[in-house]
Amino acid sequence: MSHNTFGHLFRVTTFGESHGPALGCVVDGCPPLIPLEAADIQAELDRRKPGQSRFTTQRREPDEVRILSGVFADDRTGGQQLTTGTPIALLIENTDQRSKDYSEIRDKYRPGHADYTYDVKYGIRDYRGGGRSSARETAARVAAGAIARKVLPAVTIRGALVQMGPHRIDRANWDWEEVSRNPFFCPDAKAAALFEDYLDGIRKDGSSVGAVIEIVAEGVPAGLGAPIYGKLDSELAAALMSINAVKGVEIGDGFAAAELRGEDNADQMRLGNQGAPHFLSNHAGGVLGGISSGQPVVCRFAVKPTSSILTPRETVTRYGADADVLTKGRHDPCVGIRAVPVGEAMVALVLADQFLRHRGQVGESARWPFDV
């Protein structure tokens, strides 16, 4: 990971600002011969798209993706479009950059935003809609993640919002089917109803609130991860922490593990039906020593409340004066909601890259531990 490129063998480079002509990415290193249509990517983009409920920004972006390279179809592929192993460029045009007066955010550093730090670092910034630091950049990640998923067709990666502000779901009610039935990606129908009331209040106050998202990847083969500094959990932490507004990441039990004793934390094993090891619990979240164990990979990340709120806040201007600022415009009262498909995409990118790196070093033949 460096600058705007993510990954080693499966590499994604994103570009684009919130109010520039377009954003997009180049996916390099994708294996060849994978069926890939724009519609596959669009389906994921539509899950992240703004303006789908009153709980997300009212900006209207169709987020239509075009594939510019790296795929091919002819009569020999039966008309099916396949990846060719060359870079896949994806382009999403910005269409709803509302013309407005930017003087407020041009000169005043909005607290909690990257306005000040971009200016300090670069001496210049595209302040329109947050420029490069806008969450709009995550559309490119979701698009790339859709391709990453296809590298690992046997892996299922799903995300859910498990906490909004101080309100947590009841895990006993967890139902993956429920996630697509409410505007919060919430797996607990009861909690979703509560979230609706709660967030309506927040929204009407012109305020915002944080959230916690959980991502679960099932079907991850054992053996992925490149210790010591390319550990699977280390890269998941980097990937999730790189999402806008994320302030914390956990694998498995996460911070709760600190409170446990050794007897309670380590996941015991027994032989399963197929002669493969079977874990009796999953405190580890599917990763041991930086390598996947074959259990579901479970991670969580905390998203801070959207910093754009209607209450005036104290700040300074670019010219060195004290000032008050308040952020009008179209914003998500809980930016954590749309972070769910983004988190899924980041997990997919890490897994696809680690899978290729593992295959590179070790090959495809299973290292069945019991027959050496």
The least CB distance from residue 164 to a second copy, in Å, is: 8
Q: What is the 3-state secondary structure (H, E, C) of 57-93?
A: CCCCCCCCEEECCCEECCHHHCCCCEECCCCEEEEEE
Q: Is 290 in the site for a second copy (CB under 8 A)?
A: yes
d(CA 164, CA 233): 25
The least CB distance from residue 207 to a second copy, in Å, is: 5
Q: Is 326 in the site for a second copy (CB under 8 A)?
A: no
Q: Is 57 in the site for a second copy (CB under 8 A)?
A: no
Q: Which stretch binds a second copy (CB under 8 A): 39-47, 55-63, 72-80, 169-177?
A: 72-80
Return the residue of 173, 203, 316, 329 that touches a second copy, per CB under 8 A: 316
Taking CB under 8 A as the criterion, which residues in 335-354 touch a second copy?
336
**# binding residues, a second copy (CB under 8 A):** 168
Residues 205/208/209/213 CA torsion (nearest 10 deg): 140
State the sign of the Cα–Cα–Cα–Cα dihedral 53, 54, 59, 60: positive
Angle (nearest 5°) at CA 237 between 177 and 330 = 65
Give how far Cα 369 sits from Cα of 39, 291, 363, Å.
40, 14, 15
The least CB distance from residue 343 to a second copy, in Å, is: 13
Per-residue string for binding with a second copy, 115-154, x by CB under 8 A? Answer: -xxxxxxxxxxx----xxx---x-----------------
Taking CB under 8 A as the criterion, which residues in 210-269 touch a second copy?
210-212, 222-231, 233-242, 244, 246-269
Q: Is 357 in the site for a second copy (CB under 8 A)?
A: yes
User: What residues contact residue 235 under an 8 Å CB cut-off, 6+ apart?
Assistant: 350, 353, 354
User: What residues contact residue 113 under an 8 Å CB cut-off, 6+ apart?
Assistant: 130, 133, 307, 308
Q: Is 282 in the site for a second copy (CB under 8 A)?
A: no
d(CA 224, CA 324): 50
Return the residue of 294, 296, 341, 343 that touches a second copy, per CB under 8 A: 294
Taking CB under 8 A as the criterion, which residues in 167-206 touch a second copy?
202
Contact predicate 187/168, CB 8 Å: no
Per-residue string for binding with a second copy, 80-119, x by CB under 8 A? Answer: --x-xxxxxx-x--------------x--xxxxxx-xxxx
Q: Is 156 in the site for a second copy (CB under 8 A)?
A: no
d(CA 307, CA 362): 45
